[in-house]
Chain A
Amino acid sequence: MSKVANPQDLLPLTPPVFHILVALSDDECHGYGIMQDVARQTGNALQLGPGTLYGCLKRMLAAGMVEESEARPDPSLDDERRRYYRMTPLGRRVVRAEAQRLAGAVTAAKARRLFDRPKTGAAEGV
């Protein structure tokens, strides 16, 4: 039912959802891996707690943006209890659209010289 959904309808994404999708864009991953990747992406600014992470995953599963995968890509980390998640084509389209939207927003901000202030380092958070 979610195949028909238009990515534009799902925007804007919340920061956790966006970062989870970015984390899953390379490879499928389990919960802890997603959490670590998101922390790395944001320079430790966004630490996903278990509730936030799995709450988001639940809604993303329902919307068809991610799916559970059967494969266990990392045998060293393998554990019966770990579930791996993978991005669906819809998820990829959604994260692209969101990245585009954010890029547009950043360009607009740049055009107004909002990035020329001395403290540009703070811009990496969302």
Chain B
Amino acid sequence: MPPSLPMRWFCRCYLVMLYAYPREFRLQFGGDMQQLFRDRCRQVARTPGFANWLRFAFHSAADWFSTLFQERMAGVREISVQKCATKTFGVVRTVWSVGRREQPRGFVAEWAMTLIIFLFATTTLVQAYVVPTGSMESTVLIGDHMLVDRVSYAKPPSWGAHLLPYRDVQRGDIVCFHYPEDVRQIYVKRVIGIPGDRIHLDNKQVVRNGQRLTEPYTQHIDPHMDAYRDDFPQSPRWDTTPRGRLMFADDVHDGELIVPAGKLFVMGDNRENSADSRYWGLVPRDYVVGKPLFIYWSYDAPTSDFEGLSFDHLVDVTTHFFTKTRWNRTFRVPRAQQAEVAR
């Protein structure tokens, strides 16, 4: 029996949820757990009734939630115990953890925990964001709602650089940042140049540090040439903003843009229809919010619907939720991709 759409969706959902488990546990059992989950899905699909699915979903969520804590806590204990104890003590510990259950947690305590984590996570670790323009098509579309990872590109504190997966922005990364012309808006683009890079465009092709790039992620919708757009950097034009003009004055030398320290040169993947660094200048590193984690909902609607709250949009969503949601984009991960050097 071929897997039905909700089933595939469930399985994909579970795959994402598996990432919450400690890495070691996931590597050892993740594949099996996914298999088990799929088998269980098939079993539920054989019994008719929507209530079964609901019960299954609740049961799976509860299972995930409770074991998540158990595994995480076990990891913590193992590390601290291994450091200070001998092998014999290790035996005692394993025996202890098999024989007795971990501390039972009450219903209220569990939900309080969820709430705290949720509040903490939504303010400091991840942020929800909706893409309003098509400048990054075909990588991200208008109406993609995604979670943005705020941790990776954050400035690591001096005491815990290894605590969380901090990592600096690299070429090819997709980043979300405050739009320098209006910091209330958040834009998403791809990083083309990091500090020190020499960049120019030649006939729509990026030349970075003297190397011509083949970029598999770009989309070209307009065969015509536009000298400003496709042979950047020429000279400022009517649609170059003041910040853009500043970039032309300060950072363009001998027909090449040299990215200064603390700035990034970003462009949309939809090269001919993207207002990006070519028009409004470089992005300060401090303006970077984070990187897209995954798309949790993708809704097919025009740009105007995602600018502010509109009543029409609410009506549209309630009436067309199932038909206009792009289900196949759910839980997709917009990935960083490296450009190759063309020969």
Residues of chain A having any CB pair with chain B under 8 Å: 1-2, 4-5, 9-14, 17, 30-32, 35, 47-55, 57-60, 62-63, 65, 79, 81-83
Residues B97 and A59 in contact, CB atoms below 8 Å apart: yes
With contact pairs A32-B40, A35-B40, A49-B63 given, residues A5 and B29 touching in the complex (Cβ less than 8 Å): no
CA of A32 to CA of B39, assembled, Å? 7
Taking CB atoms, residues of chain A closer than 8 Å to B36 are 31-32, 35, 50, 53-54
Given A17-B98, A52-B63, A83-B70 contact (CB < 8 Å) = no
Kindly provide the distance from the CB of B305 to the nearest chain A CB, expressed in whole angstroms: 39
Instruction: Among A13, A51, A58, A60, point to the contact of B63 (Cβ < 8 A).
Output: A51
Chain B, residues 76-117, CB within 8 Å of chain A (1/0): the string is: 000000000001001100110111110000000000000000
Q: Which residue numbers of B lie inside 8 Å of A, CB to CB?
A: 21, 25, 28-29, 31-37, 39-40, 59-60, 62-64, 66-68, 70-71, 87, 90-91, 94-95, 97-101
A12 in contact with B99 (CB, 8 Å) = yes
The 7 A-B residue pairs whose C-beta atoms are closest, nearest first, are A49-B63, A51-B67, A50-B33, A54-B29, A32-B39, A63-B98, A50-B36
Q: Is the CB of B99 within 8 A of A31?
A: no
Contact residues in B for A57 (Cβ distance below 8 Å): 29
CB atoms of B94 and A52 under 8 A apart: no
Contact of B101 among A1, A14, A47 (CB under 8 A): A14
Residues in chain A near residue B35, CB distance under 8 A? 31-32, 79, 81-82
Contacts of A52 in B (CB 8 A): 63, 66-67
The reply to whether A62 and B39 contact each other, CB–CB distance below 8 Å, is no
Q: A48 — which chain B residues lie within 8 A by C-beta?
A: 63
A-B contact pairs, 19 of them (CB 8 A): A2-B91, A10-B98, A10-B99, A13-B99, A30-B32, A32-B36, A50-B32, A50-B37, A51-B67, A52-B67, A55-B25, A55-B67, A58-B25, A58-B29, A59-B98, A60-B98, A63-B95, A65-B98, A81-B31
Min distance, Cβ A125 to any Cβ of chain B, angstroms: 16
For chain A, what secondary structure do more than half of its interface residues adopt (helix, strand, loop), or is it mixed? helix
How many contacts A-B (CB < 8 Å)? Answer: 90
Q: Is the CB of B98 within 8 A of A55?
A: no
Given contacts A35-B36, A58-B28, is CB(A50)–CB(B63) below 8 Å?
yes
**Bound complex: CA A31 to CA B97 (Å):** 21
- Which residues of the other chain, B, contact A60 by a CB distance below 8 angstroms? 98
With the chains together, A37 CA to B36 CA distance in Å? Answer: 13
- Our pick among B34, B70, B100 for the contact of A55 (Cβ within 8 Å) is B70
Interchain CB contact under 8 A, A51 and B98 = no
Question: B92: nearest residue on chain A (CB-CB)?
Answer: A9
CB B121 to nearest CB in A, in angstroms, measures 20
Q: What is the minimal beta-carbon distance from A101 to any residue of chain B, in angstroms?
A: 12
- The answer to whether B95 and A10 touch across the interface, beta carbons within 8 angstroms, is yes
Q: CA of A81 to CA of B36 in the docked complex: distance in angstroms?
A: 10
Name the residue on B nearest A35 (C-beta). B36
- Residues of chain A lying within 8 A (CB to CB) of residue B59: 47, 49
A54/B32 in contact, CB under 8 A: yes
Bound CA span A63–B92, Å:
10
State in angstroms the CA–CA spacing of A53 and B98 once bound together. Answer: 13
Quick check: B29 and A49 within 8 Å, CB to CB?
Answer: no
**Supplied contacts A2-B94, A5-B95, A30-B32, 4 more A-B pairs, CB within 8 Å:** A32-B36, A52-B66, A55-B25, A58-B29
Cα–Cα, bound, A18→B97 (Å): 14
